[in-house]
Amino acid sequence: MSSFFEHLQHIDRRWIYLVLAAVLIVSLIIGKPETPIVLDTVQHLYDAVDAAPAGPGDGKLILLETTFAANTLGESGLQTRAIVRHMMLSHKRFAVMAVDQQGAKLGPAIVNELAPYYGYEYGKDWISFGLQLGVTPFYKSFPKDIVGTVKTDSINHKPLGEYPIMRGINTIKEIPLLLEITASASVFLWLQLVQPATTPRLQIGYGCTGVMAAEAYPYLDSGQMVGMAPGLKGAADYEKMVDALEAKAVASKEIEKPYDPKTSSLSGMGQSARQLMFTQNNAHLVVIVFIILGNIGMLLARRRTRRAPKEDANG
């Protein structure tokens, strides 16, 4: 028995990859949606979006920054989708921008996929500021003069002033909430250059990749960020709350049918975050099982090597 566990310590890593791949494929095919326990940070983010005064009569809009590339669609893309669905269900007006070339295309692409479901109209309910240069002059001039800094939208290349959504939107005071969905350090420029200069302080909600989550907690504790959706888990938590909101909207016939992620043409976004969380959980379980087996093997091997000299000494 012990030789079996000892063997597990020296197992070819390719077998581990094969087992993981099999688990991932089977889990993805099953595609069971998880019902996760919502993290406090995600709940705070959801509440901040809910409370933001960006409705049609408020004269303000939420700024959604989608600074990520195609390689993190599995995290950032799903967060963006959940948040945009929430904003559309709660009739918030918003602008999308990015400081990354791919993000400037992907953000509006996600919104465009969702807009027909919720009856959102470009220029009236949402607008795309497109790619902005993530450099100091932008962060200095944008808060003072949004229309003058961005000038034209990225879809029709028309002056921002021509769109109804931009009426009365001049400075950062008309942006009650910034939602920063990012796979890079772009949020720090807002924290460094814009937030300290705004009164009242600009509220920043954060959607980051799993890798970046642990380092963001000090910013939540200090109140610099109002909430955070970390990685796929954050997206799944947020989606759970949005699904509940959507079920109410369907029941009250506000919208025809719930959003179906299968209709998404974006790579890796054909399932909901909650379904993907099921796959993620199974993958974590496999890793945990391998770690436990490896450790049992190590302990048994250690016990055997300790016993061996005693047996030799006893003859």
Partner 1 sequence: MVNDAGSRPEPARQENETFWAITLLGLLALFVIAGAVINHYVTVDNKKYAELFTQWKVLLGVIATLGIFSILYKENPTYRFLEHIFIGLAVGFGVVATWVEILWPRWFIPMLPANMVKATDFHGVSEGQWWLFFALPIALLFYSVYFPRLAWMNRLLISTIIGYYAGYELAGFIGLLGPQITKSFKPPVTTYAPEGAATGANNFQFLGVYWHPFAIIFLVVLVCTLAFFIFSVEHRRRWISQPAIAGRYFIMITLGAIFGTTVMGRFSLVISRFQFLIEAVKDWWHLIFK
Residues 232-271 that bind partner 1 (CB under 8 A): 232-233, 267-268, 270-271
CB proximity list for 129: less than 8 A, separation 6 or greater: 95, 96, 97, 150, 153, 154, 160
User: Within 10 Å of residue 106's Cβ, how many Cβ atoms?
Assistant: 26
Please report how close the Cβ of residue 158 comes to partner 1 at its closest, in angstroms: 6
Determine the interface stretch with partner 1 among 34-42, 156-164, 174-182, 300-308 (rule: CB under 8 A).
Answer: 156-164
CB proximity list for 261: less than 8 A, separation 6 or greater: 81, 269, 270, 271, 272, 275
- Identify the residue among 215, 254, 292, 307 touching partner 1 (CB under 8 A): 215
Is 287 a residue that touches partner 1 (CB under 8 A)? yes
- Identify the residue among 2, 4, 7, 25 touching partner 1 (CB under 8 A): 25
H/E element holding 107?
helix 101-118
In terms of CB distance, is 134 or 301 closer to partner 1?
134
DSSP-derived 3-state class of residue 256: coil
Residues 68-127 that bind partner 1 (CB under 8 A): 71-75, 101, 104
Please report how close the Cβ of residue 131 comes to partner 1 at its closest, in angstroms: 5
Residue labelled with tokens 């079996």: 4
**Rounded distance between C-alpha atoms, residue 250 and residue 291, angstroms:** 45
CB proximity list for 20: less than 8 A, separation 6 or greater: 283, 286, 287
- Paired sense of beta strands 177-182 and 203-208, if any: parallel
Residue labelled with tokens 């509220």: 203
Is 14 a residue that touches partner 1 (CB under 8 A)? yes
In terms of CB distance, is 157 or 306 closer to partner 1?
157
Please report how close the Cβ of residue 101 comes to partner 1 at its closest, in angstroms: 4
- Identify the residue among 33, 123, 134, 210 touching partner 1 (CB under 8 A): 210
Tokens at 218, concatenated:
């000090």
Determine the interface stretch with partner 1 among 34-42, 82-90, 212-220, 294-302 (rule: CB under 8 A).
Answer: 212-220
In angstroms, how far is the first alpha carbon of the chain from the final one? 24
DSSP-derived 3-state class of residue 130: strand
- Identify the residue among 115, 193, 293, 301 touching partner 1 (CB under 8 A): 193
In terms of CB distance, is 13 or 306 closer to partner 1?
13
Is 28 a residue that touches partner 1 (CB under 8 A)? yes
Determine the interface stretch with partner 1 among 34-42, 50-58, 85-93, 131-139 (rule: CB under 8 A).
Answer: 131-139
DSSP-derived 3-state class of residue 170: coil
Distances (CA, A) of 191 to 205, 223, 251: 11, 11, 40
**Rounded distance between C-alpha atoms, residue 20 and residue 15, angstroms:** 9
In terms of CB distance, is 154 or 241 closer to partner 1?
154
Is 196 a residue that touches partner 1 (CB under 8 A)? yes
**Which residues sit at the interface with partner 1, rule CB under 8 A?**
14, 17, 21, 24-25, 28-29, 71-75, 101, 104, 130-131, 133, 136, 151-152, 157-162, 188, 191-193, 195-197, 209-215, 218-219, 221-224, 230-233, 267-268, 270-271, 276, 279-280, 283-284, 287
